[in-house]
Amino acid sequence: MLELYDTIVIGGGQSGLACGYYLRRAKLNFMILDKQPVSGGSWLHAWESLTLFSPSEYSSLPGWFMPKSDQQFPVRTEVIDYLRKYEEHYKLPVKRGVEVSKITKEAGIFQVYTAQGVFIAKSVISATGTWGNPFVPKLEGIDKYKGFQIHSANYKTPDDFVGLKTLIVGEGNSGAQIVAEVSKVTAVKWSTKRQPEFLPDEVDGYYLFNVASAKYKAEKEGKPFDASQYNLGNIVMVPPVKEARQRGVLVSAGTFRQLYDKGVVWENGEKEEFEAIIWCTGFGYDTSYLKSLIPTDERGIANTTESKSLDTDGLWLVGYGGWTGYASATLVGLNRTAKQTVQEILEFLKSNHK
């Protein structure tokens, strides 16, 4: 006889853990399934030098603060350590090494399929993040290029690029941070669609969170909000990016038309050879396993009101970005979404599974 859970959470990264905290407080019978062998979510795969955008005191999951860091911004390994200890501290029931391949629903019960068997639940939270769905634009000639190319999802350290003339594509934070360190070991060009825009030096992730919160509050209250003060998508001046700006390497070379076997053809028709390309072109959402249950678009976006699925009752999606709850893709922003999601689950269970 299979155990019927109140809730199964798919994904044991920061989003799954934040939901776990509130599910435990609500005394629900739940389980978290995660395909990786250890805790840490996508932080396990990030490049070695990646740090948070904000100090530890402003980067905490609900209930338990991230320990203070010696650094201005906690480093990747400190985030992984925090997530592991958080899971232990709250004794969250995470089954590791379990990948969910599909979900179906019959007579109001979800069937969650894995190589280790089927699990059943009255409700499901999908918290699988973005890392598993890196985006690379389908540019002309990309299949002809014979050099080394990777997405930032798989980039680890500049050491892999020593001696390789490298093109870095993408004007976001990933692009700027990777240009900053690869340019120290080899010749680099930075291709961006628009001129990269940098936030003022004193603006960190927590400041951005406050601006986003004020914007959210104003929208909820139907009040006007001057969002022009800072564009939340602009580059945060973390220390390595500041240092790279001083060296004069954060300069865009513009866009290119197409690729050829040895490099790219710039907009003015000039060809330039590159031995490596790093695509810092963002991510879709890692929701393909939900296709058996609900429609998702080409980026993996589902129909939701905040985190609640509009296509099937009993399903929530947490932590993917603005479309699943404002600032919900950040540690500090998860609290509100996770709390509200579990509140909605409680109401759902009360009216649908008495």
The pair of structure tokens assigned to 331 is 């540690």
117-126 and 109-114 strand pairing: antiparallel
Distances in Å between the alpha carbon of 279 and those of 153, 243, 308?
9, 22, 32
- Name which of 95 and 245 has its Cβ closer to ligand FAD: 95
The DSSP call for residue 308 is E
For the chain, the C-alpha Rg in angstroms (whole number) is 22
100 contributes a contact to ligand FAD by CB under 6 A: yes
30-34 and 148-151 strand pairing: unpaired
What CA–CA distance (Å, rounded) separates 330 from 203?
16
Asked whether the CA dihedral 313, 35, 148, 320 is positive or negative, the reply is: positive
Choose which of 5, 21, 22, 53 interacts with ligand FAD (CB under 6 A).
53
- Name which of 145 and 337 has its Cβ closer to ligand FAD: 337
Choose which of 9, 13, 158, 183 interacts with ligand FAD (CB under 6 A).
13
Choose which of 158, 170, 263, 319 interacts with ligand FAD (CB under 6 A).
319
- Name which of 160 and 275 has its Cβ closer to ligand FAD: 160
Which among 87, 144, 108 is positioned nearest to 263, based on CA atoms?
A: 144
Q: Which residue is listed with tokens 């592991």?
A: 84
What CA–CA distance (Å, rounded) separates 62 from 78?
17
What CA–CA distance (Å, rounded) separates 315 from 311?
9
Q: How far is the CB of 143 from ligand FAD (least distance, A)?
A: 26
- Name which of 264 and 336 has its Cβ closer to ligand FAD: 336
Query: Which of the residues 119 through 178 are near ligand FAD (CB under 6 A)?
Result: 127-129, 131-132, 173-174
286 contributes a contact to ligand FAD by CB under 6 A: yes
Q: How far is CA 227 from the centre of its chain?
A: 23
117-126 and 4-10 strand pairing: parallel
- Name which of 264 and 318 has its Cβ closer to ligand FAD: 318
42 contributes a contact to ligand FAD by CB under 6 A: yes
- Name which of 18 and 264 has its Cβ closer to ligand FAD: 18
Distances in Å between the alpha carbon of 172 and those of 41, 81, 108, 262, 313?
21, 26, 42, 25, 36
Q: Taking every pair of C-alpha atoms in the chain, what is the biggest distance, in angstroms?
A: 69
- Interface segment toward ligand FAD; rule CB under 6 A; list 13-21, 84-92, 102-110, 117-125: 13-21
- Over the window 187 to 226, marking each residue x when it contacts ligand FAD by CB under 6 A and - when it does not, the resulting string is ------------------x---------------------
33 contributes a contact to ligand FAD by CB under 6 A: yes
Query: With contacts defined by CB under 6 A, how many residues of the chain interact with ligand FAD?
Result: 34
52 contributes a contact to ligand FAD by CB under 6 A: yes
335 contributes a contact to ligand FAD by CB under 6 A: no
- Over the window 227 to 266, marking each residue x when it contacts ligand FAD by CB under 6 A and - when it does not, the resulting string is ----------------------------------------
Choose which of 8, 10, 244, 293 interacts with ligand FAD (CB under 6 A).
10
Q: Which residues contact 202 (CB under 8 A, 6 or more apart)?
A: none
Query: Which of the residues 58 through 87 are near ligand FAD (CB under 6 A)?
Result: 59
- Name which of 59 and 296 has its Cβ closer to ligand FAD: 59
What CA–CA distance (Å, rounded) separates 46 from 282?
13
Per CB under 6 A, residues contacting ligand FAD are 10-16, 33-36, 41-43, 52-54, 59, 99-100, 127-129, 131-132, 173-174, 205, 286, 289, 319, 329-331
